[in-house]
Amino acid sequence: MNTLAESSTVQSRESVKMKSPEKEALIAAHQREFTKTIGEIASPNPRIAAREVNVYYGDKHAIQNIGLDIGHNEVIALIGPSGCGKSTFLRCLNRMNDTIPGCRVTGSIRLDGQDIYEGGLDVVPLRAQVGMVFQKPNPFPKSIYENVAYGPKIHGLASTKAELEEIVETSLRRAGLWDEVKDDLAKPGTSLSGGQQQRLCIARTIAVGPEVILMDEPCSALDPIATAKIEQLIDELRELYTIAIVTHSMQQAARVSQRTAYFHLGRLIEVGETAQIFTNPRHPLTEDYITGRFG
């Protein structure tokens, strides 16, 4: 199975060299066959629908032909070894890859039916719709209040001070942080503990009213209790938002997600119900990864 994956990267390297359209079409067709995902990629009620997404960093084919739906009020976990493209795929969903020079994305990603890679689409409202929480808690070096209020301010979501205060309070409440910080809103965000900082970042994301929240290994820098709090929060937020989470912890993927997608060397190997993926994966690569036999 490993040789299969290797030969596919060789394939992609060759495809970069060849220019003739017939050959390219042939290779594309071959690759579609080659990069077929096991399991149901479609969702009955998709919020995000990605089809045939390819990402190139210069000559490197980082993501090959990925198709995946993310349903309403669903938590989907993206797992896989380092460098498998899961974070790259996640960053495609709110076009954070735009900032990386030499990065090229092909295929279609639709958010509520609207292609987000369509020419002329502004990324600013997109990023308000599709928020992102990062690996390292990264509050602004400002007060807790300012951290949460910044997003609504730049988007003009509040017309009066009272409205802004209400948004801040609601966001902090939803992030489960209000009771801990309501008396210290003027304190710098960086003075909080790591777990609180991450919840502050989640509150900051919620404050601009997104539909989708992307989380890139949100708990990798946190202790187990703080992690559990974030996981509980994710479970609560599922009622209101669609969540895609990249994680290195299979335990965490198993705990928080309804569906799990396994990435390997830029391909989406297998998607399925989380319970099925973790008890009875169908692809040997998934099996090796989740049982700890990878490598």
Partner 1 sequence: MKQITEGHVLRRYDGELRELHYKVLEMGTLVLTQVRGALGALKSGDTELAARVIDDDDRVDDLEVEADTEVVALFARRCPKGSDLRLVMALSKAITDLERVGDEAVKIASSVERLYAVRGDRPSEVSLNEVLALADTVVRRFESSLRLVDSWDAEDAQRFIAGQREIADKFHRVLAEMLDNGGDEAGGPGFAVNLVLILKALERVASHAENLAEYVIYQAMGLVLRHHAV
Partner 2 sequence: MNSEVSQVLSKRNLDIVNASLKRRHAAESRFRLYGLLSIGAGILMLVILLGSIFGKGYRAFSQTYIGLDVHFDPAVIDPEGLRNPEALAGADYNALLKRSLGELFPEVTDRQEKRALNRLVSGGAAYSVRDEVLAHPELLGGTSRLWVSAGPDVDMLEKGYVDRDAAEAERIMKDRELGWVDKLKADGRLERRFNVKFFTAGDSRDPEQAGIWGALMGSLYTVLVTLVLSLPIGVAAAIYLEEFAPRNRWVDFIEVNINNLAAVPSIVFGLLGLAVFINFFGVPRSSPLVGGLVLTLMTLPVIIIAARSALKSVPPSIREAAMGIGASPMQTVFHHVVPLAMPGMLTGAIIGMSRALGESAPLLMIGMVAFIVDIPHSIFDPATVLPVQVYLWADSPERGFVERTSAAILVLLAFLILMNGTAVYLRRRFERRW
Residues at the site binding partner 2, with contacts judged by CB under 8 A: 94, 96, 99, 101, 123-128, 131-134, 136, 138-141, 150-151, 154-155, 190, 201, 204-205, 207-208
Distance from the first to the final alpha carbon of the chain: 12
**What is the spatial order of strands in the sheet that 267-273 belongs to?**
130-133, 212-216, 242-246, 75-79, 259-264, 267-273
Phi, psi of 271 (to 5 degrees): -125, 145
- Contact indicator for 245, 76 with CB cutoff of 8 Å: yes
For every residue of 19-36, which 3-state class applies, written as one string? CCHHHHHHHHHHHHHHCC
**232-247 per-residue burial string, b: 16 or more CB within 10 A, e: under 16:** ebbeebbeebbbbbbb
The region of 46-54, 214-222, 237-245, 250-258 touching partner 1 under the rule CB under 8 A is 250-258
Closer of 66 and 133 to partner 2 (Cβ): 133
User: Does position 250 bind partner 1 by CB under 8 A?
Assistant: yes
Nearest to 123 by CA among 141, 136, 109, 135: 109
Residue 209, binding choice from partner 1, partner 2, none, Cβ under 5 to 8 Å by partner class: none
In angstroms, what is the minimal distance from the CB of 294 to partner 1?
A: 7
Residue 132, binding choice from partner 2, partner 1, none, Cβ under 5 to 8 Å by partner class: partner 2
User: Does position 295 bind partner 1 by CB under 8 A?
Assistant: yes
Q: What single-letter amino acid sits at 251? A: Q
Closer of 14 and 163 to partner 2 (Cβ): 163
Ramachandran region, residue 72 (left: φ > 0; alpha: ψ -120 to 50; beta: rest):
beta
In angstroms, what is the minimal distance from the CB of 134 to partner 2?
A: 6
Residue 250, binding choice from partner 1, partner 2, none, Cβ under 5 to 8 Å by partner class: partner 1
Site string for partner 1, 269-288 (x = CB under 8 A): ---------xxxx----xxx
Cα–Cα distance measured from residue 162 to residue 165, given in angstroms and rounded to the nearest whole number? 5
Residue 291, binding choice from partner 1, partner 2, none, Cβ under 5 to 8 Å by partner class: partner 1
Residues at the interface with partner 1 (CB under 8 A)? 250-251, 254, 278-281, 286-288, 290-295
